[in-house]
Amino acid sequence: MDLIQPSGQPLTGVLDTPIDHVNYCDFDLRSVMDRPRSRVARYWRFNQFQFISAMGPDWLMGLAVVDLRLVSNAFFYIFDFRTGEMREQSWLSPLALGTDCDQYPEHGHGRFHRGRTRIDIQGDGHQRHVELSAGDVSLNLTLSGDSAPLRVCSRAGYDGWVFTRKSAGLAVSGEARWGDRVYAMDERMRGTIDWSAGFMRRETAWNWACLAGTADDGTVVGLNLAAGVNETGVTENALWLDGTLIKLDLARFEFDRYAPDSAWRVTTSDGRVDLTFEPAGVRREKLNVGLLASNFRQYSGTFNGHVVGNDGQRVAVSGMRGLMEDHFARW
């Protein structure tokens, strides 16, 4: 199914049917004074990114490819909970040269090629394959069991919209290499996928949380929460228990931005989530290049608390690894 309908407007809300094509060029983009915009304007206004993570008791990793048209960037990092070491690399490409992100969220690809750095993300039904090669840094990762994603499209500002497809708690396999260090995926690790695109607000700020792992009782848990983005008539908040998607209500993040080592708390208004988060490491990035700006902090850490399933099942979250994010963007 195409996201943009013959009327020139997107389907909005929680979408149960897979969106095969985010056909943004068919969107009837207007100015805030309702003047029709050109196809060229649609191209330059459209933003897109993919973020992939895998996490377990010993270490976690995050990888992203971001296409903002005027510039693209990519990053890869590993945080080792055993040593407290953060290893990271990031790359920028003016005018998104060498970046190719198609608009097929279920089966499409995302690529970032610059110099000796090559990142390839390929969707394949219920799997996603990720490869990275950058000198002495490499990643070969497969995420599988992606059969119950959350798909949401919401209005963004006066004239825009955002589509996002998210999954958490996925099985992972593969390994990462960083110099002489090998980080092997094992059965304790789980992964997440975030595929997002659209005509986003010119200035956006949000908080975001995700975790993926196995609880002490054997329940596989995945969680995606956000506040400040994708909140017009619908949210992107969701819980997965043993692969079953449970839609969540509004999320509330409590934290001290200027005390980065302090604990966070995140809850949902439906009472299904009550978690604390202890940060252990952080990836920071500040980018200010004229029209574009980003103040980004993504924390690696540990969640404790509980989540509640549809049947009232209360699942204890004890020492589960995950991510918290505090982000301002102008694009």
- Reference 88, options 286, 313, 282, 302; nearest CA is 282
Contact assessment for residue 297 and residue 326, using Cβ atoms and an 8 Å cutoff: yes
pLDDT of residue 10: 99
N- to C-terminal Cα distance for the chain? 28
pLDDT of residue 108: 94
**Which residues, in sequence order, are CB contacts of 148 under 8 Å at separation 6+?**
167, 240, 243, 244, 245
292 pLDDT above the threshold of 90? no
pTM of the model: 0.96
In this predicted model, what pLDDT tens digit does every residue of 60-115 receive, in sequence order?
999 999 999 999 999 999 999 999 999 999 999 999 999 999 999 999 999 999 99
- Reference 278, options 294, 261, 295; nearest CA is 261
For the chain, how are helix, strand and coil distributed in percent, rounded to 5? 5, 65, 35
Q: 3-state class of 15 per DSSP?
A: coil
Beta-bridge mates of residue 120: 111, 131
CA 277 → CA 221, 261, 295, 303, distances in Å? 16, 10, 21, 5
Which residue blocks in the chain are alpha helix, DSSP H? Answer: 39-45
Taking all residues of the chain, what is their mean pLDDT, rounded to a whole number? 97
DSSP letter string, 28-45: --B-TT-PBPPHHHHHHH
In this predicted model, what pLDDT tens digit does every residue of 194-223 receive, in sequence order?
999 999 999 999 999 999 999 999 999 999
DSSP code at position 271:
S
**For the chain, which residues make up each domain, given as ranges?**
13-330
